[in-house]
Amino acid sequence: MSIAIITGASSGLGAEYARQISEKNKVDEIWVIARRIERLEALKKELSVPVRIFQMDLVNDENMERFRQTLSDEKPDVAYLIHAAGFGKIGTYQQIDRKVSMGMVRLNCEAAVDITESVIPYLRRKSRIIEIASTSAFQPFQGLNVYAASKAFLLRYSRALGVELLGTGITVTAVCPYWIKDTEFIPVAGETKSTAIRHFAFASKKKNVVAVSLFFAEKGFPVCTPGIVSSIHRVMTVLPDSVLQLIWSGLRRL
């Protein structure tokens, strides 16, 4: 029996990955991971394949140890590991509480490594690892400093891990989307009421981001920029960081 393991499945991209994988009958069962159990229960009712719910916090060591024990006991055949859990805050270091910034680092970086390396032993040839990074991973972003840095870590980690897994038939795809209009990211990120970013023009939709990234993952691409803006941004990284930051300073005031 093949399964998909999806973190951050209570909303946004995580829930949408569960829907599209279920619709395409890619696996026999989906394991969904998040803290909000009521959201997971609602998602379970939507899907056409069996769903197993894990209500857990990925940065809680006891939760992760219990999950590793479940993996050890059941030895599942994991076809997909999709790490979509993460959060961000908009604002400068003065506007964002230090504990919130550390929470971003723990979830976006430490938890990503923890869940990925806990699941790798249960992957097999043609298994796919999908890590949700961001187009912000391509350059330093003042006003989105810690979030962008955490996603840069995830992008580099994914690229290197993909090379380490060469010869196993397992691929790693870092997904680097632009703003996504129909997830909770923009409202949560903007809770600091910062003026660092005034608008979210040309934002993508989660359905498109997931569909494109699943296609890229199936083809074994190491990086997916699912949209015109993120693709242009990736090309622009040939410019020095200082130039990109200057451009960003202008754009965020429009």
Mean pLDDT of 137-148: 92
pLDDT of residue 200 exceeding 60, the answer is no
Confidence class of residue 188 from pLDDT cuts 50, 70 and 90? very low
Give the pLDDT score at 189. 46
pTM: 0.90
Structural domains in the chain, CATH included, are 2-251 (3.40.50.720)
Per the CB < 8 A criterion, the answer to whether 7 and 84 are in contact is yes
pLDDT of residue 32 exceeding 70, the answer is yes
Mean pLDDT of 224-244: 90
Pick the residue with more confidence: 89 or 154?
154
In terms of average pLDDT, the best of 146-150, 184-188, 236-240 is 146-150
For the stretch 83-107, pLDDT in tens is 999 988 888 899 899 999 999 999 9
Give the pLDDT score at 254. 58
Confidence class of residue 185 from pLDDT cuts 50, 70 and 90? low
pLDDT of residue 184 exceeding 70, the answer is no
Looking at the DSSP bridge assignments, the partners of residue 80 are 4, 128
Confidence class of residue 245 from pLDDT cuts 50, 70 and 90? confident
Structure tokens at 222: 């190491």
Mean pLDDT of 127-150: 94
Pick the residue with more confidence: 145 or 254?
145
Amino acid present at 81: L
Confidence class of residue 249 from pLDDT cuts 50, 70 and 90? confident
